[in-house]
Structure 1
Amino acid sequence: MRKTLCTWLAISFMACCVGLAHAQTAPRVVDIPTRPGVTQRVLVLAPAEPKAVAILFTGGNGILQVADNGELRQGKGNFLIRSRQMFVDQGLMTVVVDAPSDRQTSPYLSGFRQTPEHLADIKAVMAWVRTQTGVPVWLVGTSRGTQSSAFVATELSGDPGKAGPDGLVLTSTILSDERGRAVPNMPLGKLRIPVLVVHHEQDGCRLCSFSEIPRLMDQLTGAPRKQLLSFKGGNNRGDPCEAFAYHGFNGLEAEVVTQTVAWMLAK
């Protein structure tokens, strides 16, 4: 009887620990004041005790139209957006960035990602996040979202951990762009934060050719820690520059997120 009771208590204790490890606060929609008359809406998902923060930047035109209840009216298929809960499950507070209130109509973030206004909006997001938790804050972009995250990181490179981010993750990076400045053409040598580059070797998007990755990595001369995580396989469906092609790590989401977060949290 005593042995059975002890066994039951042990199992109950282990179940309780597992439950605590996966405990999550209720998702929140927050409108952060930024420029005069403008707010920046974010969707916040977090474990009870986050180890770090991942601010996620979707690709394309950057519009998600986050509703008051947290529902996404657009863009929910994007790699980072559809994988957002995986970041939470790995222990990260996950902050999904929508277009700001003055960019909720076309062209949304097109032509806006490398502007002082966008910089002001994301600075406000990072400042708000730091009022919520004292853990490191990372910018994580995918596809055209890398043009947002890399721009903000380079512009704030002189103040990491305060106004600027503590780390940067670039997935499916824009490596060439006839419509704007590609990421390798930014002053990446200014960065003094860890930088992780995540790319699919079979990415068929003409703006994201894996053959251009060495040029990107060579620019990261000041990063105290940098690495390329490359992937093969998965599923390839539809437009090669869209979310369910190799470009969006279709079928590899769990593997990509797990390895990405492990690198972010490594000392």
Structure 2
Amino acid sequence: MFNVIKSWIAVLLIALASQAMAQITQKVVDIPTRPGVTQRMLVLAPPMAKGGVVLFAGGHGGLQIFPNGSLKWGDGNFLVRTRQLFADQGLMVAVVDAPSDRQSPPYLGGFRQKPEHVADIKEVIAWMREESKATVWLVGTSRGTQSVTYIATELSGQEGPDGIVLTSTILVDDKSRPVPAMPLGKIRIPVLVVHHVQDGCALCEFAKVPTLMAKLNNSPSKELLTFNGGENNGDPCEAMAYHGFNGLDREVVQQIAGWILSK
């Protein structure tokens, strides 16, 4: 009888877990930001969210999200492809596209460090904070780290994020200002830096990470999280290389989420 009871309890727990997972549905949300401009996002909202994350893809950032939630570009990007994994950790997720007035090339190219980008994401943060009833973090990968860092230097308090996560940070750049060249002393929120030791992208050489960490001197809590191994395919600056944590998705997301929730 005792074994039967244990079996029924196990079945019940699995059913409850499955039900909770099934409730994490993806939807497309458009919010007004600047006059005549809207910001489109893919949103995943688990019940009773423990926190919220706004995810910024790398590259040109123009996901071109269709009303049905499919993407014209960026499906393989590290943060885009792992959005469900973040939601599975109990985090409300918003994957941001380029805004409505940047839906053609160069999309977010040349826009990531502009006041208009800050204005758009300020409204995203406010929306996420209201919807999730929790803290809101900005998480960027590759060129997305330029968006996240710039916004964190421009917005603070209730208007800004509660913390930021930088994955595969742009450390040098001859086209725009790299992250270490930004006024990082203005950032007074927790910062998690996540980097692959074997990142082969010339803009993200691991040896330059200590320079970044040293400049985050006013953050109340900063940490470097490193990874090795996985799979390395194709262009060293793309998502299927070490640069995109290929083969390590679940481990990387779990550790990022754990750090966020510990704060």
Q: Match for residue 258 of structure 1?
A: 254
Name 2:28's counterpart in structure 1: 29
What does residue 116 of structure 2 align with? 117
Letter in 2 for 1:179: K
Which residue in 2 is equivalent to 1:57?
56
The one-letter code of the counterpart of 2:217 is T
Match of 1:188, as an amino acid? L
Inter-partner Cα distance in structure 2 for 1:24 and 1:120: 31
Q: Which moved more, 1:84-93 or 1:11-20?
A: 11-20
Aligned residue in 2 for 1:142: 141
Once the two structures are superposed, the pairs formed by residues 200-239 of structure 1 within 5 Å of their partners are: 200-239=196-235
CA apart distance, 1:3: 4.6
User: Which of 157, 161, 165 is the matching residue for 1:165?
Assistant: 161
Please report how far the alpha carbon of residue 6 of structure 1 lies from its aligned counterpart in structure 2 after TM superposition. 3.5
Report if the CA contact (8 A) 2:136-2:161 is conserved: yes
Cα distance, 1:20 vs structure 2 = 5.0
Aligned to 1:102: 101
Per-residue Cα deviation, 1:147-179 (whole angstroms, up to 9, x for no partner): 00010011113x2xx100001000000001111
Q: TM-score, normalised by structure 1?
A: 0.94
Structure 2 residue 152 is matched with structure 1 residue 156? no
Q: Aligned equivalents of 1:218 and 1:55: distance in 2?
A: 25
Map Cα deviations across residues 27-84 of structure 1 (whole Å, 9 max, x no partner).
1111110111110000101211211111000000001011101111111111111111
Separation in structure 2 between the aligned mates of residue 167 and residue 143 of structure 1, nearest angstrom: 17
Kindly provide the amino acid, as one letter, of the partner of residue 41 in structure 1. R
1:207–1:15 CA distance, 2 compared to 1 (3 A)? same
Q: Taking structure 1 as reference, are residues 18 and 26 closer, same or farther at Cα in structure 2, changes over 3 Å only? A: closer
Q: Which amino acid aligns with 1:170?
A: L
> Which residue of 1 is the match for residue 91 of structure 2?
92
Query: What is the Cα deviation at residue 22 of structure 1?
Result: 3.0
Deviates more, 1:224-233 or 1:21-30: 21-30
Residue 37 (structure 2) aligns with: 38
Unaligned runs of 5+ in 2: none
Residue 247 of structure 1 is matched in structure 2 by 243
Aligned to 2:126, the other structure's residue is in SS state helix
Q: Give, as a single letter, the amino acid of the residue that structure 2 aligns with 1:167.
A: G
Q: Separation in 1 of the partners of 2:180 and 2:24?
A: 38
Alpha-carbon distance in 2 for matches of 1:45, 1:29: 9
- What SS does structure 1 have at the residue aligned with 2:159? coil
Amino acid at match of 1:231: F
- Pairwise CA distance, 1:91: 1.0
* One-letter code aligned to 1:151: Y
Q: Confirm or deny: 8 A CA contact 2:34 2:120 kept in the other structure.
A: yes
Distance in 2, Cα, partners of 1:39 & 1:89: 28
Alignment of 1:67-78 (within 5 A): 67-78=66-77
TM-score where L is the length of structure 2: 0.96
Q: Describe the SS at the equivalent of 1:22.
A: helix
1:15 deviation in Å?
A: 2.6
Residues 133-157 of structure 1, C-alpha deviations (whole Å, 9 max, x = no match): 2111000000000000010011113
Task: Give distance in 2, aligned partners of 1:76 and 1:29.
Answer: 15
Number of corresponding residues: 263
Q: Which residue of 2 aligns with 1:175?
A: 171
